Amino acid sequence: MKRILITGALGQIGSELTMKLRDIYGTDNVIATDIKKNDSEAAQSGPFEVVDVTDLKSMVEIAKKYKVDTVMHLAALLSATAEEKPVFAWNLNMGGLMNALETARELKAQFFTPSSIGAFGPTTPKDATPQDTIMRPTTMYGVNKVAGELLSDYYFHKFGVDTRGLRFPGLISYVALPGGGTTDYAVEIYYEAVKNGKYTSYIDKGTFMDMMYMPDALNAIIDLMEADASKLIHRNSFNVSSMSFDPEEIAASIRKYIPGFKIAYKVDPARQKIADSWPNSIDSAAAKEEWGFKFDYDLDKMTKDMLEKLQQKLQMKIPS
């Protein structure tokens, strides 16, 4: 990777990935794009262009303008929001992906897009979900992700585009808030712990889902993109995860630092239904074997860092 174009660069992943890539590859070599500009560091610290990913001509023009050799396509509507707007989700998620793949094909660029554990469905094995298994999702987001994995495979086999991807679990970060995902509670709970010492979860106790701390997710993207292509059997997409927990376990982890923390429940049927269709835990063996996937953060290490960073960000002391 030398000249990198990122779509959805101001989202939860993109806002941090943009800055990390600029640190590694140089500020001017990472072109951030999104549907609109804001005052975030990702938008202000280096090249930025307003790009609508449903506009192929605009995307290709920007890619050619900066002579990019890598396209990282992050723009997407997330799971809970996609259920509310399924037609819009299909048009954005699939139309945007097709345009990004076409841009990569025209420029002979390397390509990355994230998939998700949302690609799995209720008939997928729930525990230690294998890399290769049945995928029959029951959400629009999941349908988009399965179709996206297949489309990326198609562009590799048909056109020789060097496509790569990861099936991300829920991603947890103190930098940018998530936007309409089923696993968002695992971010919100930390904010509420620091602000109020309590949280009401829309996901029920006993609901296990895979998660990953954002620093590990960013490293996984870069490690995969820098990996030797000849060693990749799977391309789109690799299971990756670093932990699996339910709301009770994350609350218990928080109590190690905020002993009085309380959790209550007001279950959201729509998001609970999505969560129930996903695996309890996934197997990352293929990623470890083919390109050396590893992670640094378990639940307690992540909790400690999240609470420390949020105290600084929110300029608040942890409730006693």
Q: Are 113 and 97 a contacting pair, CB within 8 Å?
A: yes
Assign 162 to helix, strand or coil.
coil
Is 141 among the catalytic positions? yes
Sign of CA dihedral 9, 15, 17, 20: positive
Q: Which of 76, 97, 101 is nearest to 9 (CA)?
A: 76
Tell me whether the omega of the peptide bond preceding residue 237 falls within 30 degrees of 0, making it cis: yes
Question: Residue 88 contacts by C-beta under 8 Å, 6 or more apart in sequence?
Answer: 77
* Catalytic pick among 141, 185, 190, 213: 141
Query: CA torsion angle for 290, 291, 292, 294 (degrees, to 10)?
Result: -110
Pairwise CA distance, residues 39 & 44, whole Å: 6
Q: Which DSSP symbol is given to 282?
A: B
Instruction: Decide: residue 85, CB within 10 A, 0-12 exposed, 13-18 middle, 19+ buried.
Output: middle
CA neighbours closer than 13 Å in the CB half-sphere of residue 124 = 30
CA distances from 93 to 31, 75, 144 (A): 21, 7, 7
307's tokens:
């609470």
Which of 65, 8, 83 minimizes the C-alpha distance to 40? 8
Place of tokens 């509420």: 192
Q: Which residues are catalytic?
A: 141
